[in-house]
């Protein structure tokens, strides 16, 4: 493939779009997963805070210290550093002084000592960062509550209590999770590279194929048109060099021209048929036909034609009853197959034409010739447009390589099948099966 | 029918279904040809062929034109069958009249020459 051609560009843009699509998808997936993970962890912590609050306010029990074994996020490991605390409660008096420093012990007091009381933040969950004695930062989620004077615990009554939940381990877990998520997404994105490449290639394949076919088709059509046109031009120019001669004298170049015009006519008719069949605008005109008589009538001229070329034709038509098909198209199909058979059968050879009704109310049409046969490699291509077994494309055989393509189209329109095989001992057999309904 | 219509237009059709190009008298409805009082035995396609020539005397007619006209479909291999009918028709005319009005133009076609009839 040449660089910079439209298909290449198309494939590249497909690839890029697929890649961006994957990237976006993965990014959104990452964000959503991350959000929900974080949310669930914070929810768990906040639930713990509220639980503590209820505990203090109802004095159900002394505030206990959670030491790692929690319910919700049990999979988060205890923090690596020596942090013996998870939940702590600071009790402030109304002046903002910490009154439970004895209970906390020196080490914790060092950490919490600088905490200020901000009465405007009562009942609000906030985050707080504190530095411990060993100069490491600790993160807390806090809830400040005002304990009413009626609280049975004298320690709390009428004071402010700040519940601090250490979230170092949770943050660590979130960070760890984010890292592995990012890594996973990156790996998948790289996989997406491959997938996008594969997808863009496979989606380009049919486009490329039909594009190439179209290109080939135009090239072939142009080629087929050019040869007769050249002949016509030559003949006409030749006639101009004989201004004094009569039509009678120059009948031969005129007739050659006419012949080429005929070729062109056949060719354009067939091209038109194919173009219309592609556009799906040909109306199939199905009629109820009496099979036996119709086939006998249709085949009759060919017996004479074969005989006139010293070739014999055997026909066997065993099709009682009626059939439903487009007589013009099926006649065209038979003409195409028989023309081919006669064309490629040498003098003295035999052409066999058989029509028979087979199972499921189907019709089998068989045309056998005793010609040179078609090589296996060509068999699967014979129904392609402009495909010819002999590559020379000489006009002597008269064909234009569209006959069998049209035959195939006609059979398809009748929901039938057409196949080609070797005839034994030599030659080719074309077999058509089609339903009669 | 088409032949009749064409003949009517061109004025060759004398009384109703008869066409006369001496020495041939053709009855288009009975599909018979009379030559000098004798009936010329022609089969269907040979008759059509003769009528075609009588309608187009002194005209070059190609084999393709003949095939299209008589058989009514296009075929790439059919031209040879025209030659067969042509040779039969010629033989029959020769036997009956000793005339050779149909001239062959090699690689081109045929011409029915009225001056040969004189």
**CB distance A133 to A110 below 8 Å:** yes
| pLDDT value, residue B5 | 58
Direct distance between the N- and C-terminal alpha carbons of chain A, in angstroms, rounded to an integer: 47
Tell me which residues of chain A have a pLDDT lower than 50: 1-2, 62-84, 393-395
The pLDDT value recorded for residue A104 is 72
Inter-chain residue contact A343 with B64, CB threshold 8 Å: no
Cα within 13 Å of Cα(A111), Cβ side = 24
Does B81 sit within 8 Å of A304, measured CB to CB?
A: yes
- In Å, how far from its chain's centre is CA A133? 62
A239 touches chain B (CB under 8 A): no
Buried b (16+ CB within 10 A) or exposed e, B71-102: beebbbbbbbbbeebbeebbebbeebbebebb
Say yes or no: B104 contacts chain A, CB-CB below 8 A.
Answer: no
CB pairs under 8 A between A and B: 58
- The pLDDT of residue A77: 40
Exposed (0-12), middle (13-18) or buried (19+): which is A333, by Cβ within 10 Å? Answer: buried
The residue in chain A having the minimum alpha-carbon distance to the alpha carbon of residue B86 is: A308
The residue with tokens 């439970």 is A100
Backbone angles phi, psi at B13, to 5 degrees: -80, 110
Question: Residue A324 is inside which H or E element, if any?
Answer: strand A322-325
In angstroms, the separation between the Cα of residue B72 and the nearest Cα of chain A is: 10
Residue B107 touches partner A, C-beta closer than 8 Å = yes
Q: How far apart are the first and last CA of chain B?
A: 30
d(CA A51, CA A70): 13
Q: Which residues of B touch A307 (CB under 8 A)?
A: 81, 84
Decide if A305 contacts A342 (C-beta within 8 A).
yes
pLDDT recorded at residue A1: 46
Query: Closest Cα to residue B3, out of B112, A298, B101, B12?
Result: B12
Q: Do A255 and B108 touch (CB under 8 A)?
A: yes
The two three-digit tokens of residue A173, written as one number: 């877990």
Hey, is the C-beta of B81 within 8 angstroms of any chain A C-beta? yes
Interface of B with A in 50-79 (CB under 8 A): 60, 62, 64, 71, 73-78
The verdict on a CB contact (< 8 Å) between B105 and A304 is no
- Whole-angstrom CA distances from A84 to A66, A102, A165, A267, A414 are 9, 17, 12, 94, 85
A304 close to B (CB below 8 A):
yes
Could A255 and B76 be called an inter-chain contact, meaning their C-beta atoms sit closer than 8 Å?
no
In chain B, how many domains are there?
A: 1
Burial class of A345 by CB neighbour count within 10 A (0 to 12, 13 to 18, 19+): buried
For residue A251, what is the nearest residue in chain B, using CA coordinates?
B108
**How high is the pLDDT of residue B117?**
78
CA dihedral angle for residue A238, residue A244, residue A247, residue A250, rounded to 10 degrees = -40
* Nearest-Cα residue of chain B relative to residue A339: B77
pLDDT at res. A85: 53
Rounded Cα gap, residues A36 and A180, in angstroms: 15
Pull the structure tokens for residue B53: 């020539």
CB interface of A with B, residues 240-259, below 8 Å: 247-248, 251-252, 254-256, 258-259
Per-residue pLDDT, A73: 42
Q: ipTM value of the model?
A: 0.79
Q: Is A343 on the interface with B (CB under 8 A)?
A: yes
Whether the link from the prior residue into A76 is cis, omega within 30° of 0, is: no
Phi, psi of A43 (to 5 degrees): -60, -45
Which of A252, A262, A339 lies closest to B64 in CB terms? A262
Chain B residues touching residue A305 (CB < 8 angstroms)? 75, 77-78, 80-81
- Nearest CA-CA distance, residue B37 and chain A, Å: 32
Which of the residues B48, B78, B83 would you substitute to probe the A interface, choosing the one with the greatest number of A C-beta atoms within 10 Å? Answer: B78
Two tokens, residue B71: 């058989």
Nearest to B60 among A251, A266, A342 (CB): A251
The closest CB to that of B107, out of A247, A252, A307, belongs to: A252
- Residue A178, classed as helix, strand or coil, is helix
CATH of the domain at B26: 1.10.10.10
3-state secondary structure chain B: CHHHHHHHHHCCECCCCEEEECCEEEECCCCEEEECCEEECCCHHHHHHHHHHHHCCCCEEEHHHHHHHHHCCCCCCCHHHHHHHHHHHHHHHHHHHCCCCEEEECCCEEEECHHHHC
**What number of residues does chain A have?**
437
Report yes or no: A79 and A169 within 8 Å, Cβ to Cβ.
Answer: yes
The strand pair at A350-358 and A312-318 is best described as: parallel
Triad A386, A389, A394: Cα angle to 5°? 70
- In whole angstroms, give the CA distance from residue A423 to residue A430: 9
User: Which residue of A256, A304, A343 is in closest CB contact with B76?
Assistant: A343
Angle subtended by helix axes B79-97 and B44-55, to nearest 10: 80
Which residue in A235, A254, A259, A367 has the most chain B C-beta atoms within 10 A of its own C-beta, making it the best mutation to test that interface?
A: A259
Taken in order of first residue, the domains within chain A and their CATH numbers are 66-167 (3.30.450), 208-279 (1.10.287.130), 287-435 (3.30.565.10)
Give the orientation angle of helix A327-344 with respect to helix A403-413, to 10 degrees.
Answer: 140
Q: List the Cα angle A31/A35/A41 in 5-degree steps.
A: 150
Choose the closest CB to B62 out of A255, A398, A399.
A255
Q: Give the closest of B64, B71, B108 to A301, CB-based.
A: B71
Q: How many CA atoms lie within 13 A of A235 on its CB side?
A: 18
Domain of B11 in residue numbering reads as 2-117
Residue B2 to chain A, least CA–CA distance (Å): 21
Q: How far is CA A371 from the centre of its chain?
A: 44
A22-41: burial string, b at 16+ Cβ within 10 Å, e else = beeebeeebeeeeeebbeeb
Spell out, as residue ranges, where chain B has pLDDT lower than 50. Answer: none
- Reply yes or no: is the peptide bond before residue A65 cis, omega within 30 of 0: no
Alpha-carbon distances, residue A225 vs A107, A262, A270, A271 (angstroms) = 100, 12, 12, 11
């Amino acid at each position: 493939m040449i660089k910079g051609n439209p298909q290449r560009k198309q494939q590249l843009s497909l690839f890029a779009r697929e890649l961006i699509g994957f990237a976006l998808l993965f990014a959104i997936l990452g964000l959503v997963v991350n959000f929900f993970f974080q949310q669930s962890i914070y929810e768990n912590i906040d639930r713990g805070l509220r639980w503590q609050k209820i505990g203090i306010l109802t004095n159900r029990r002394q505030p206990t210290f959670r030491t790692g074994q929690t319910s919700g996020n049990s999979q988060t490991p205890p923090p690596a550093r020596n942090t013996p605390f998870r939940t702590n409660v600071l009790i402030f008096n109304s002046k903002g002084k910490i009154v439970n420093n004895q209970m906390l012990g020196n080490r914790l007091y060092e950490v919490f000592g600088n905490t200020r009381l901000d009465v405007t933040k009562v009942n609000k969950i906030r985050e707080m960062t504190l530095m411990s004695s060993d100069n490491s930062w600790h993160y807390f989620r806090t809830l400040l509550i005002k304990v009413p004077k009626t609280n049975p615990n004298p320690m709390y009554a009428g004071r402010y209590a700040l519940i601090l939940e250490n979230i170092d381990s949770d943050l660590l877990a979130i960070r760890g999770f984010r890292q592995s998520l990012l890594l996973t997404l990156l790996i998948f994105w790289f996989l997406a590279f491959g997938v996008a490449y594969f997808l863009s290639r496979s989606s380009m394949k049919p486009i490329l194929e039909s594009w190439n076919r179209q290109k080939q088709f135009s090239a072939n059509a142009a080629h087929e048109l050019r040869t007769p046109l050249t002949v016509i031009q030559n003949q006409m120019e030749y006639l101009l060099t004989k201004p004094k001669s009569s039509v009678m004298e120059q009948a031969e170049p005129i007739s050659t021209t006419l012949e080429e015009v005929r070729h062109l006519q056949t060719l354009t008719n067939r091209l038109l048929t194919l173009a219309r069949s592609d556009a799906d605008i040909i109306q199939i005109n199905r009629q109820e036909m009496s099979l036996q008589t119709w086939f006998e009538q249709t085949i009759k001229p060919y017996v004479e034609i074969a005989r006139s070329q010293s070739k014999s034709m055997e026909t066997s038509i065993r099709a009682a009853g009626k059939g439903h098909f487009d007589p013009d198209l099926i006649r065209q199909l038979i003409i195409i197959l028989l023309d081919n058979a006669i064309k490629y059968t040498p003098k003295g050879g035999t052409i066999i034409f058989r029509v028979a009704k087979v199972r499921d109310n189907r019709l089998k049409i068989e045309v056998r010739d005793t010609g040179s046969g078609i090589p296996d490699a060509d068999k699967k291509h014979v129904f392609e447009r402009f495909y010819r077994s002999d590559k020379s494309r000489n006009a002597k055989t008269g064909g234009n390589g569209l006959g069998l393509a049209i035959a195939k189209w006609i059979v398809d329109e009748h929901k039938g099948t057409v196949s080609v095989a070797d005839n034994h001992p030599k030659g080719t057999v074309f077999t058509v099966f089609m339903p009669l309904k | 029918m088409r032949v009749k219509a064409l003949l009517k237009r061109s004025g060759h059709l004398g009384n109703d279904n008869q066409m006369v190009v001496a020495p041939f008298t053709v009855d288009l409805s009975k599909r018979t040809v009379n030559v000098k009082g004798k009936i010329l035995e022609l089969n269907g396609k040979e008759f059509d062929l003769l009528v075609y020539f009588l309608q187009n005397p002194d005209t070059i007619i190609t084999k393709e034109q003949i095939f299209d006209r008589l058989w009514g479909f296009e075929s790439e291999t059919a031209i040879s069958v025209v030659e067969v009918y042509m040779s039969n028709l010629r033989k029959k005319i020769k036997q009956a009249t000793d005339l050779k009005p149909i001239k062959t133009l090699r690689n081109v076609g045929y011409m029915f020459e009225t001056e040969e009839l004189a």
